[in-house]
Amino acid sequence: MDAVSVHIGASVARPYDWGQDNCALWVASGVAMATGVDPAADLRGRCASRFLTLRMVAQAGGLLRFVRGRMVHPALRPMQPGQDGAAVIRVPVGGDMCAFILGGRAVARSDGGVMIFDRFEILEGWTWSRR
């Protein structure tokens, strides 16, 4: 997950941007860095506001359904317990979001910055081999 760690570190000081860096696009960028496959290439710039992003996700039937269809690629496989990867998680306060799972913790990004969660539920996750 080295490329993901570099991606996380580089994003800490970068301003939040709904069209390029919301929680799902942020995770997709890390997946692209690690695998060469961008599961959200067609979405970049289309989610220009919180409203448009939430509407797009709602029209897809929720965040998990929105993300699941984009994570179908030979470079990605279902994440098993104890593996690192990318996931849609549910946190006690805040609901569902996309995150990286690293060492048993969830690392996510919101308009409040990069956050680390110890308590979360993985709704579905994906992992990959190093390039």
The tens digit of pLDDT for each residue in 73-101 reads: 999 999 999 999 999 999 988 789 999 99
Strand order in the sheet with 85-91: 77-78, 121-127, 85-91, 95-102, 105-110, 113-117
In the chain, where the domains are located = 2-127
- What's the pTM? 0.91
Write out pLDDT tens, residues 29-74. 999 999 999 999 888 877 778 888 889 899 999 999 999 999 999 9
- What is the predicted pLDDT for the residue at 1? 52
Give 3's pLDDT tier (boundaries 50, 70, 90): confident
The token duo for 74 is 């030979």
| Residues recorded for the chain | 131
